[in-house]
Homo-oligomer: A and B are copies of this chain.
């Protein structure tokens, strides 16, 4: 079963959450990353995500395998949109189920941190004043 997915259409959060449900899991933590209407003081109108899909998929699966080995969790999923997104769209979703909440919080944060740091996906913001720019991991522009 795939634990990480690149989505060209809206992420099926309900479907992913159902995959995580388990009688053994008492806790679930999820993270949603939405397209914000501003970044670094500039008004954002929309954005595009590009991905190097085969490596993004492989690296995403590696992160999800690492998290299952490192934390006492039941299961985890992550999905990341690619393509054109509008303000308020869901860009990335992470869900983790566990017997206890501490591991669920830690594992969820580990996944989103590692995905942002390692998975070859790039965000191109389009600004209200008409420009656009590729961003660094810390959301500052690439010069």
The reply to whether A36 and B105 form a contact with Cβ atoms under 8 Å apart is no
B contact residues around A112 at 8 Å (CB): 101
Binding site of A, secondary structure by majority: helix, strand, loop or mixed?
A: mixed
* Cα distance, A25 to B36, chains bound together (Å): 6
Q: Size range of the interface on A? A: 20 to 34
Contact with B along A14-38 (1 / 0, CB 8 A): 0000000101111111111111111
- Please give the distance in Å from A36's CB to the nearest CB on chain B: 4
Query: Closest residue of chain B to A13, judged by CB?
Result: B17
Contact of A36 among B34, B35, B36, B99 (CB under 8 A): B99
Contact of A34 among B25, B33, B109 (CB under 8 A): B25
Query: Closest residue of chain B to A102, judged by CB?
Result: B109
**Cβ of A141 under 8 Å from chain B:** no
**Cβ of A11 under 8 Å from chain B:** no
A residues sitting closer than 8 Å to B (CB atoms) are 21, 23-38, 87-88, 99, 101, 104-105, 108-109, 112
